[in-house]
Amino acid sequence: MDVRAAVAIAAGKPLEVTTVQLDGPKAGEVLVEIRATGICHTDEFTLSGADPEGLFPAILGHEGAGVVVDVGPGVTSVKEGDHVIPLYTPECRQCPSCLSRKTNLCTAIRVTQGAGVMPDGTSRFSLNGQKLHHYMGCSTFANFTVLPEIAVAKIREDAPFDKVCYIGCGVTTGIGAVINTAKVEPGAKAIVFGLGGIGLNVVQGLRLAGADMIIGVDLNNARKEWGERFGMTHFVNPKEIGGDLVPHLVNMTKTGADQIGGADYTFDCTGNVTVMRQALEACHRGWGQSIIIGVAPAGAEVATRPFQLVTGRVWKGTAFGGARGRTDVPRIVDWYMDGKIQIDPMITHTMPLPDINKAFDLMHAGESIRSVVIF
Ligand code: NAD
Ligand code: 022
Ligand code: ZN
């Protein structure tokens, strides 16, 4: 069939909005009509050419929501008409990783997903007979896409596509990092580095978890108001404190009885390795945990003195907020529909598919929290 898509022809070039061909779903696959998609940093990272694993030509996009319109042989968990969110981290419930209960990083289709093809090793997308790569197993920058059954989460039908698409990456990553990865408890003190599309969701996750002190750190003063809107209690701009950031933050977290100071939990939502070190070192001695969410540039390395770890600080990372997509994503949609979490104000820009390149311009300018294409 013919579908409308934004094609990443080559690294560093704008997306080309055109008609491409999509083959129907094979065994274990579903055809989904994408109704809305967010534009996330990793799409930009790949399009720019900075991602060494980026494949071209490809249909990017991994933050979508839509409706199942056809299913291939053997599909049992979803049917035509079901509303779904594509999952770049699938959940097969059968591989050693899923069965371990210790990680959300399902390995069932990992190799083919990374190679930009469906689990049978072929692509469903083509342009004038030339193969197009799938992206992160999702390819949501098209009004129809084919996905493995294990890579869709079935959601309630009253949820608006143009909002819940954000649960496909940013919302789940931020809230999940707090709840699944850090397991933050009521009364905790936390620091969030970077108040963008991920950090603001960490902030609202911390409020949901009952944290007492939520310090936001950002170089952009415009992000102070944003943080406060979702539960941030204190704001620090590293450029404006006239001294080192880590001791400043540690001081802020000191309370009467505890003059050691440091946060119970810190989160890097910048992808900057210097910030990652600051986030670890701003943790409380003996128990503080620092969670890396940001994706650093290719080849980057993190450093600290081993003493930081020997004295009980814990360094962790998280992918997709540690969420098991088919199980956890429908619950997060419920939280949104029940008013427990907010999404609408973070979607600062919407546009039709032909204007998708504007979303990348807004991201570069730091003007948007999230842009969403509505098909
Ligand atoms: P964003 O650009 O919207 O936000 C980043 C924020 O960090 C901005 O407000 C910026 O001003 C601030 N910042 C930059 N440098 C800083 C510094 N040195 N100190 C303090 N603040 C600084 O980006 P985002 O959409 O929120 O994404 C953040 C990161 O999370 C990206 O690296 C993205 O790739 C990553 N991410 C990871 C996962 C995962 O599963 N691990 C999922 C989604 C996104
Ligand atoms: C999403 N991300 C950043 C912005 N939006 C993001 C990028 C990478 C990962 C998670 C989120 C990630 C962490 C660990 C892995 N990935 C490896 C997973 C594994 O090996 O099992 C990751 C994922 C997908 C892909 C590449 C890397 C891909 O499909 N190409 C989850
Ligand atoms: Zn993303």
**Tokens 């992206």 identify what position?**
135
Find how far residue 335's CA is from the centre of its chain: 17
- Ligand 1 touching residue 271 (CB < 6 A): yes
* Distance between CA atoms of residues 92 and 109, nearest Å: 9
List, for residues 234-287, the tens digit of each pLDDT value: 999 999 999 999 999 999 999 989 999 999 999 999 999 999 999 999 999 999
CA-nearest of 59, 67, 60 to 20 is 59
- How far is the centre of ligand 3, averaged over its atoms, from the C-alpha of 40 (Å)? 5
CA-nearest of 179, 224, 180, 170 to 201 is 170
Q: Which amino acid is at 195?
A: L
DSSP for 160-173, written as a single string? -HHHHGGGGTHHHH
List, for residues 92-114, the tens digit of each pLDDT value: 999 999 999 999 999 999 999 99
pTM of the model: 0.98
- Ligand 2 touching residue 137 (CB < 6 A): yes
Note if 40 is an active site residue.
Answer: yes
Give the residue, out of 46, 63, 269, with the most ligand 1 atoms within 8 A of its beta carbon, to mutate for a pocket test. Answer: 269
Assess if CATH 3.90.180.10 describes domain 2-168+343-374.
yes
List, for residues 203-244, the tens digit of each pLDDT value: 999 999 999 999 999 999 999 999 999 999 999 999 999 999
Sheet containing 2-7: which strands, arranged edge to edge? 2-7, 16-22, 125-127, 130-131
Q: First and final CA of the chain: distance in angstroms?
A: 17
CA-nearest of 95, 98, 93, 120 to 108 is 95
Q: Where are the domains of the chain?
A: 2-168+343-374, 174-319
Q: Which amino acid is at 307?
A: F
* Distance between CA atoms of residues 287 and 263, nearest Å: 9
Note if 42 is an active site residue.
Answer: yes
DSSP-derived secondary structure letter, 321:
G
* Distance between CA atoms of residues 195 and 269, nearest Å: 7
Residues forming a β-bridge with 315: 290
Find how far residue 169's CA is from the centre of its chain: 3
Indicate which atom in ligand 2 lies nearest the CA of residue 114. 30
Note if 138 is an active site residue.
Answer: no
For residue 172, what pLDDT band results from cuts at 50, 70 and 90?
very high
- Ligand 2 touching residue 105 (CB < 6 A): yes
* Distance between CA atoms of residues 83 and 295, nearest Å: 30
List, for residues 118-152, the tens digit of each pLDDT value: 999 999 999 999 999 999 999 999 999 999 999 99
- How far is the centre of ligand 2, averaged over its atoms, from the C-alpha of 262 (Å)? 30
Q: Dihedral sign, CA of 336, 339, 342, 345? A: positive
Note if 95 is an active site residue.
Answer: yes
Note if 370 is an active site residue.
Answer: yes
DSSP for 103-137, written as a single string? -S---TTHHHHHTTS-TTS--SEEETTEE-B--TT
For residue 343, what pLDDT band results from cuts at 50, 70 and 90?
very high
If 0-12 CB within 10 Å is exposed, 13-18 middle and 19+ buried, where does residue 34 land?
buried
CATH number, domain 174-319, options 2.40.340.10, 1.10.10.10, 3.40.50.720, 1.10.540.10? 3.40.50.720
Residues forming a β-bridge with 8: 58
- Ligand 1 touching residue 177 (CB < 6 A): no
- Ligand 2 touching residue 296 (CB < 6 A): no
pLDDT of the residue at 184: 98
Residues forming a β-bridge with 31: 70, 146
User: 270 Cβ partners below 8 Å, 6+ apart?
Assistant: 193, 194, 199, 276, 294
- How far is the centre of ligand 1, averaged over its atoms, from the C-alpha of 195 (Å)? 7
